[in-house]
Amino acid sequence: MAEVVKVKVQPLNEEAFKPYGTVLKQKQPIFPEVEPGEGRVAMELLRAKRGSSNHVGELAIHYSYNQTFIPIKGSMILVVAPAPPKVGKSEGDYPVDYNKLAAFVLEPGQAAFIEKGVWHGAAVPGAECEFINVTRKNPGEGTSDQFAHPTQRGYVETVDVAKRDNKVIELEL
């Protein structure tokens, strides 16, 4: 049986979010980056619906770009773990520090910028959330599916935490 990792959901807070990225503030710009030759910065408008449970089953990781989530209708929960050291055959082999896993509620108009290499996943606490995703895209690539099934995008690694680590991430709302 998988070990349940409970993560208390907290409001987005600049100090608490610092190990994972930056909270956008007035008069302090944030600069999205994509490694040279690795696609371009893109913005997309996405809609996600509430899942059937308070569990987050997959975490994504990517080192070729940073990413920003900005809800505009409804709230979203961003689950994050610090960027691990680059060890192993692929990013999907990199360890998740479950002791430093955190979850933040992003309200409409807030923006959370995650650094390259930060493990991340998302959930919707209400019926649905419409949000802006500032991400990386290759020329000709369409928009992401709901909270992504990034496995369809070769530059994003996703990990099913139950299969790989025998863990279940449970959000405490």
The pLDDT value recorded for residue 106 is: 98
Indicate if the pLDDT at residue 142 is higher than 80: no
- Per the structure, the complete domain to which residue 44 belongs is given by 3-172
CATH code, domain with 160: 2.60.120.480
What distance lies between CA 96 and its chain's CA centroid? 13
Give the residue, 153 or 119, on which the prediction is more confident: 119
Q: Look at residues 63, 94, 93, 100 and name the one whose alpha carbon lies nearest to residue 79.
A: 100
pLDDT in tens, 107-123: 999 999 999 999 999 99
pTM of the model: 0.93
Beta strands 119-123 and 76-81, pairing class: antiparallel
How far out from the chain centre does Cα 164 lie? 18
Share the mean pLDDT of the chain: 92
Q: Count the domains in the chain.
A: 1
Q: Which two tokens stand for residue 71?
A: 């809800």
Q: Note the pLDDT tens digit of each residue in 43-72.
A: 999 999 999 999 999 999 999 999 999 999
Tokens for 75?
């709230």
